[in-house]
Structure 1
Amino acid sequence: MKPVDAMLEILRDEGVDRVFGNPGTSELPFTDALADAPDIEYVLGVHEGSVVAMADGYARATGRPAFVSLHIAAGLANGLVGLLNASRSRTPLVVTAGQQDRRHLATDPMLSGDLVGLAKAAVKHTFDVQHAHDLPFMLRRAFALAQQPPAGPVFLSLPMDLLQETGPVEVPGRSVRAPLGAATRLQRAADLLAAADNPAIVAGDGIGREGAVPQLVAVAEALGALVHHQPMHDGVDFPGSHPLHAGMLPATHAGIREQLTGHDVVFVIGTHAFMAHHYTPGSPVPDNTRVVQLDSDPAELGRNFPVALGLHGGIGATLAALAPLLRGRVPRAAERIERAGRAHAARRSRTEAQARAGYGEAPLDPLTAAHAVAAGLPEDAVVVEEAITTGIRLRQVLSLDRPGSYVHTVGGGLGWGIGAAVGRRLGGPDRPVVAVLGDGCTMFGLQGLWSAARYEVPVTFVVMNNGEYRTLKETLDSWDSRSTRRGRYVGLDLSPDRLDFTRAAEFFGIEAVRATGADHLAETVAKSACSDAPLLIDVPVNGHG
């Protein structure tokens, strides 16, 4: 069997039915072989950033590693931002790039480069494949590593002449790995949690990734513990309508510490170091608060703060085993749930009233715009969010319960949203997808609209258009509140009159409309989410400063 044929056989065996790529000369042996593999679709992107983002969304929708083919050093460099996002969001990807022909690499040919060195900082592991007989088992190893906690992208450099070799290679079988079981010392964990006077839970994205939301609900209800989502969470890790849901933690140590003050025991589950953004001094954990931490990645336990007990195991299996040990041990659990429910309802009522007060004609207040989008969502919709400023407001008005209904990247590499939404819909065509995007994020990833049009992917792209990098202005103002400082910003304005994203959509062949008001926005989202074609909605939003 030729190396390239072995590669295709392994892809099929690993469940790969789509390759996301942008080809070049060094990938031609692979793309040529795909011409005789009708069961593996090649999904073309016109920029590598969009290619990796599509694969990211696809992997999240299907629950298995997505496969990416990039072109040599330059294409890999273009895709690095997506790989950084995937690494931070723990998305399993297997990524390849074609290297120049080995027979003249020593002469430093055009387009060649240190692919492994370039990729190393952005991925979980790298392979520099130099021998045809190594390709099959290195590729198998890449798929295994991509899924092993902590999941993430794995990179392989493939010289183009290696794939053209005719010498036979052997294909190793696929290994079946048992999932992580429950952690040990669960009775000790149950004793610590049950004895707490005021317990809280921090729900990290590991819960959503590992499908452990129902198990977390059982533990939270047994304790009557408030549940906070981790800062800038990537998914639904606890039902938004549940009375114990206490919202998202802020992305600073000081803010987290303030939110958790008064809780004597905090159960931190499946979150990477609380994911702080801006620096504030001190620990995220209040003094005299004890932490029980659970993660499928042992490196997370006690990484940034001391823990009274660190539990390493499968998150779902551990929570499922822990819930019976807690049930009936906390007499005040029902009372705590009722009290939390009243606070939850009051908080949502205040937010609802504030958002409704802004209804009217565009331009809209960001909270009102977010509310209108939420009001128009079908029940089974998936929200892909890369809206930065308005995204924070969107989290306040959404109340999503179904796992997988919210997709975000905590990686921070802009331009991810459009491609991720396309990939999410390709991987889960049974659910409508609405992408809520900032105008700056849209500019970074605009090329993804080409793929949406080319493959007729029915995604609704909602661009919150305030003509500026609003989040940076708000950050500057929070640092320096003096009146002489406000209103003077360098490099933070995109357009004083707002860019017209309807024209950009039309260029790529996508229908577009500009929202005239909050009701119009809600109606358009509701109708478009049931459509069989992509649509872009340009939403004028207030915020110029």
Structure 2
Amino acid sequence: MTPLQALFAVLREEGVTRIFGNPGTTELPLLDALTELPEFEYTLGLQEGSVMAMADGYARATGRTAFVNLHVAAGLANGMVGMLNAARSRTPLVVTAGQQDRRHLAQDPMLAGDLVGIARPVAKQVFDVQHAYDLPLLLRRAFALAARPPAGPVFLSLPMDLMAELTEVSLPSRSVVAPAGPAPGLADAARLLAAARSPVIVAGDGVGRDAAVPALVAVAEALGATVYHQPMNDGVDFPGSHPLHAGTLPARHAGIRAALTGHDVVLIAGCHAFTPHHYTPEHPLPDGITVVQLDSDPAEIGRNFGADRGLVGGIRASLQGLAALLTGTADGSAERLAAGRLAAERRDAELARQLGGLRAVAPIDPLAAAAAVAAGLPDNAVLVEEAITTGVLLRRVLRLDRPGSYVHTVGGGLGSGIGAAVGHRLGDPRRPVVAVLGDGCTMFGLQGLWSAVRYRVPVTFVVMNNGEYRTLKHTLDDIDGPSARQRRYLGLDLGPPALDFTRAAAFFGMDAIRVRDTNELTETLAKAGTRDAPLLIDVPITGHRHPEEDA
């Protein structure tokens, strides 16, 4: 078979049925061949950021490595943000980009560039394919590496002339890898946890990725342990309505330390080293706390803090083993579970009290808008969140229990929300998808709306429209305290003119509404599961206020 035929053969055997891309001249051999291969669906994005975000969402929804095809150095550079997000969120992707014809690379042709050099900082591994006979082997290797813990994007540079060669190449067979088993040392770790006076668990995103939520629930209930999600979690790693769930840890070491103070043993499961956002000088772990750390990636053990017991193995298999060892061994677990129920009831009552005094008509208070979203979500919905300040509030009001119901990225590359929502719905059309977006994030990825309309993907996009970069104003106020009342904010406002996202949706041919109050928002979202086309909801929310106004 030819190199191009071998590429498609590998894709078939790896379970790929959809190719995400934005093409150029170097991709013409691949595109031309696809016209004769109906088993592959080519999904077009108008900019590489949207392409990468769609592939990321699709990989998460299907549980399979997604395949992306970009165009030369400039296209790859545009896609780097998506590769960075995938690397930090542990999403398995195989990303390719067409290189210029090798026969004139020495002449520095237009569009050529050092593709592997561009991709190396954000890829798990890079391959510069220079020989036709290497393409099947390296592509097969790329799929294996992308899925191996820690999962992430793997990049291949594919010269245009190589893809058009008629050279005969051989196809290496696919390896079937058994799932990782339980970590050694579980019995010793179980003894430490069972002896704890006040155990606490940090549920990392590795738990959700390994379908290990039920096993972690069993461990938590056996211990009666308080459970926190990792800072800025990317998914549902513990049921939000469970009485032992205490919310999400803040993305500052000082806040993490405060939350964990008073506990004597902590189980940190599948969590990437806490990854703080703002700097605080405190160590994240209280003095004297005993640390049991579990991860499928050996590099995580002891990465940023010492582990008294470091466990390396399959997260689901290891938690299942721990649960079996812990059942009936922890004194006081029933009392701690009852205390957790009381604490959860108090938190819910305080939240209800706060919501009772908030503005419910446009412009809506952000917390009230977040609560309206939570109230309107269909039971089986997937929430894709890229809303920054409103997203933090959403984490307070959401009570999502079903794994896979929440999608976020800790990558930091803005503009992923629209594409991720489209890709997720393409990957799992059985569940309605609602994307909650900040207005600034929406502008970063606006062209992704075109793909939603083009492929008639029934995502409901909710844009929290306050006309500003509110999180940056909050950060400045936190730094300066009361002196912020004299502050002018440079470059942090998106108006005038005010952004009207209903008009942006209309440009792409998408239906849109601007809601007037929280009731209309909740009622509109409740119909998300019945739509057969995308809809954009523009939600006017109140903007930033100075600290003395809040007081």
Q: TM-score range by the shorter chain?
A: over 0.9
Q: Distance in 2 between matches of 1:124 and 1:153?
A: 6
More displaced stretch, 527-536 vs 314-323: 527-536
The aligned residue for residue 364 of structure 1 is 364
One-letter code aligned to 1:319: L
The aligned residue for residue 302 of structure 2 is 302
Contact map agreement 1:377 1:529 (CA 8 A) in 2: no
1:319 equivalenced with 2:324 (yes/no): no
Q: Distance in 1 between matches of 2:261 and 2:482?
A: 30
Contact map agreement 2:295 2:313 (CA 8 A) in 1: yes
SS of aligned partner of 1:273: coil
Contact map agreement 1:465 1:498 (CA 8 A) in 2: no
One-letter code aligned to 2:106: A
Instruction: Describe the superposition over 1:403-454 as per-residue Cα deviations: whole angstroms up to 9, x where unpaired.
Output: 0000000111000000000000000000000000000000000000000000
The aligned residue for residue 389 of structure 2 is 389
Contact map agreement 2:181 2:313 (CA 8 A) in 1: yes
The aligned residue for residue 548 of structure 2 is none
Contact map agreement 1:438 1:465 (CA 8 A) in 2: yes
The aligned residue for residue 78 of structure 1 is 78
The aligned residue for residue 246 of structure 1 is 246
Contact map agreement 1:203 1:229 (CA 8 A) in 2: yes
The aligned residue for residue 51 of structure 2 is 51
SS of aligned partner of 2:522: helix
One-letter code aligned to 1:158: L
Q: Distance in 2 between matches of 1:346 and 1:282?
A: 29
The aligned residue for residue 378 of structure 1 is 378
Q: Distance in 1 between matches of 2:19 and 2:436?
A: 26
The aligned residue for residue 236 of structure 2 is 236
Q: Distance in 1 between matches of 2:353 and 2:124?
A: 45
The aligned residue for residue 37 of structure 1 is 37
Q: Distance in 2 between matches of 1:269 and 1:298?
A: 13
Contact map agreement 1:459 1:529 (CA 8 A) in 2: no
Residues 77-476 of structure 1 mapped to structure 2, 5 A cutoff: 77-358=77-358, 360-476=360-476
Instruction: Describe the superposition over 1:205-238 as per-residue Cα deviations: whole angstroms up to 9, x where unpaired.
Output: 0000000000000000000000000000000000
One-letter code aligned to 1:95: V
Q: Distance in 2 between matches of 1:483 and 1:519?
A: 38
Shift of residue 530, structure 1, vs aligned partner:
1.9
SS of aligned partner of 2:200: strand
Contact map agreement 1:295 1:313 (CA 8 A) in 2: yes
SS of aligned partner of 2:542: coil
The aligned residue for residue 25 of structure 2 is 25
Shift of residue 358, structure 1, vs aligned partner:
2.0
More displaced stretch, 328-337 vs 422-431: 328-337
Contact map agreement 2:431 2:529 (CA 8 A) in 1: no
Contact map agreement 1:54 1:422 (CA 8 A) in 2: yes
Contact map agreement 1:206 1:269 (CA 8 A) in 2: yes
One-letter code aligned to 1:358: L
Shift of residue 51, structure 1, vs aligned partner:
0.2
Aligned length: 545
Alignment RMSD (CA, Å): 0.9
The TM-score with structure 2 as length reference comes to: 0.98
SS of aligned partner of 1:10: helix
Contact map agreement 1:359 1:519 (CA 8 A) in 2: no
SS of aligned partner of 1:482: helix
Residues 513-524 of structure 1 mapped to structure 2, 5 A cutoff: 513-524=513-524
Q: Distance in 2 between matches of 1:89 and 1:143?
A: 17
One-letter code aligned to 2:514: R
Shift of residue 487, structure 1, vs aligned partner:
4.1
SS of aligned partner of 2:130: coil
Q: Distance in 1 between matches of 2:352 and 2:28?
A: 55
More displaced stretch, 212-221 vs 358-367: 358-367
Q: Distance in 2 between matches of 1:327 and 1:4?
A: 54
Shift of residue 355, structure 1, vs aligned partner:
2.3
One-letter code aligned to 1:81: V
Instruction: Describe the superposition over 1:295-348 as per-residue Cα deviations: whole angstroms up to 9, x where unpaired.
Output: 000000011001101000000000111111111111311110010111012102
One-letter code aligned to 1:188: D
SS of aligned partner of 1:68: strand
Q: Distance in 2 between matches of 1:536 and 1:61?
A: 22
Identity rate of aligned residues, in percent? 69
One-letter code aligned to 2:430: D
Instruction: Describe the superposition over 1:224-266 as per-residue Cα deviations: whole angstroms up to 9, x where unpaired.
Output: 0000000000000000010000100000111100100011110
Shift of residue 31, structure 1, vs aligned partner:
1.0
Shift of residue 482, structure 1, vs aligned partner:
3.0
One-letter code aligned to 2:158: L
Shift of residue 497, structure 1, vs aligned partner:
5.6
For the structure 1 residues 544 and 332, does the alpha-carbon distance in structure 2 shift closer, same or farther, using more than 3 Å as the test? closer
Contact map agreement 1:137 1:172 (CA 8 A) in 2: yes
Contact map agreement 2:194 2:331 (CA 8 A) in 1: no
The aligned residue for residue 510 of structure 2 is 510
More displaced stretch, 345-354 vs 138-147: 345-354
More displaced stretch, 265-274 vs 497-506: 497-506
Q: Distance in 2 between matches of 1:342 and 1:158?
A: 59
SS of aligned partner of 2:126: strand
